[in-house]
Amino acid sequence: MEQEKALELVKQGSTLLFLDVPQYTLIGIDTQVFSAGPEFKGIKMIPPGVHFIFYSSSTKDGKEFSPIIGFFIETSPSEVVVRKWNLEEERLVKVPDEEEERYAQAVKQFEFDRHLGPYSLSDYGDWKRLSNYITKDVIERIEPIGGEITVACESSLVGNIPKTTMEIALAEQLKNSKFNREAETSDKKGCYYTPVPRVIKQRGISVAELTSVNLDKTYILESILMKEFEGDEDRLLGELQFAFIAFLMGQSLDGFLQWKSLVSLLFGCTQAPFHTRSQLFIKFIKCVYYQLKYGFQRGHAKDSTIEKESSLLLDDSWLTSDSFLHHLCKEFFLLVDEASVVDGDLLTWTRKLRELLENTLGWEFHRKSAVDGLYFEEDDEYAPVVEMLDESS
């Protein structure tokens, strides 16, 4: 990069100043991870906007790491954010306002410049696609008290999650963590995610109507949009992205459970995608497409110790054909295939998502039968039984 352009990016971009960070500590911003060396004091040239900061302290030899702590921030042009390492708590803490102002002035005078790692602008596109619906309002509504997101405060969730293959692996990692005792005594709370009911129980309606409401989650979606988001679809998508980032970058089990709840809710709608909320579903499918595309690539980056340590919760159990994601997508793809009228963009992005899953994971979905155009898996126990009858029969 030309020196003049680099200087302009330093001036206009935001800066994270991290003081006294021990060597080997993992420091991440968005989709990038740094390993702190003896001269590391932060990150410069950060595009203004929403970012996710996460870090993990290590043992003195750099071989073992603590659970990740992460938090969202929104930065403005030329802003300097200052954090200092607290050795006793093994975490970054804010400094007093007066002290922060002094450090900010020193940064703007380039006194720390050689100690700051540059933000990789080539990776910024990935981050924007993962976070384009997250706003300051979304962050403030969901983030826990104090702003810190960490799996070390989520041990109470272990007994409450369904036990799929992947979720068992997640629960075991948390259960066996040496930091589990810390979680049991911690007064920190989790994120304030929107509650998503799995089943609707409502008096005054017929059994048939109640069954219909629970088979098609359009009613639940509309209720949540109106009650929790004042009809703003983008805020719901912002929460979807917040939860995914908290899970993938921050290793938050709570984030995974909320992401799964929202994905299950939206994929469980049969009327909304084609009649009342087509634009929402186009945006939703794009979000999931980019989340999975990035997540699977990151999950296979096993050659990097840094990348591996910051991706412990994304393992091969995501990729099995008996995962919840496979079942949800299978039903939704069938729904789109059989719809009489489908928005063109929705059809395009649904096909892109299907191709991503087929090409990346080798998943197979429904194949068309010669019988009445029905779709079913070759080994599907619910597939129709076909008997060849002679003319007299």
HEC string for the chain? CCHHHHHHHHHHCEEEEEECCCCCCEEEECCEEEECCCCCCEEEEECCEEEEEEEECECCCCCCECCCEEEEEEECCCCEEEEEEECCCCEEEECCHHHHHHHHHHHHCCCCHHHEEECCHHHHHHHHHHHCCCCHHHHHHHCCCCCCEEHHHCHHHHHHCCCCHHHHHHHHHHHCCCCHHHHHHCCCCCCCCCCCCCCCCCCCCCHHHHHHHHHCCHHHHHHHHHHHHCCCHHHHHHHHHHHHHHHHCCCCHHHHHHHHHHHHHHHCCCCCCCCCCHHHHHHHHHHHHHHHHHHHHHHCCCCCHHHHHCCCCCCHHHHCCCCHHHHHHHHHHHHHHHCCCCCHHHHHHHHHHHHHHHHHHCCCCCEECCCCCCEECCCCCCCCCCCCCCCCC
Whether 3-131 and 149-376 share one fold: the answer is no
| pLDDT of amino acid 390 | 46
| pLDDT of amino acid 85 | 95
| pLDDT of amino acid 387 | 39
CB distance 241 to 134 below 8 Å: yes
| pLDDT of amino acid 211 | 53
Cβ neighbours for 5, distance < 8 A, ≥ 6 positions apart: none
| pLDDT of amino acid 380 | 44
Q: Give me 195's structure tokens.
A: 């509650």
CB distance 61 to 96 below 8 Å: no
User: Measured between alpha carbons, how far is 143 from 361 in angstroms, rounded to an integer?
Assistant: 33
| pLDDT of amino acid 184 | 45
| pLDDT of amino acid 2 | 72
Domain ranges of the chain: 3-131, 149-376
| pLDDT of amino acid 240 | 98
| pLDDT of amino acid 369 | 46
Q: Does domain 149-376 correspond to CATH entry 1.25.40.550? A: yes
| pLDDT of amino acid 149 | 93
Whole-prediction pTM value? 0.83
User: Measured between alpha carbons, how far is 388 from 393 in angstroms, rounded to an integer?
Assistant: 10
| pLDDT of amino acid 316 | 56
pLDDT by 10-residue block (mean), the chain, 393 residues: 74 92 94 92 95 91 85 94 92 93 94 93 94 97 93 64 60 54 53 84 55 74 95 97 94 90 94 94 97 78 49 54 83 91 93 93 68 43 40 44
| pLDDT of amino acid 199 | 64
For domain 3-131, give the fold. Substrate Binding Domain Of DNAk; Chain A, domain 1 (2.60.34)
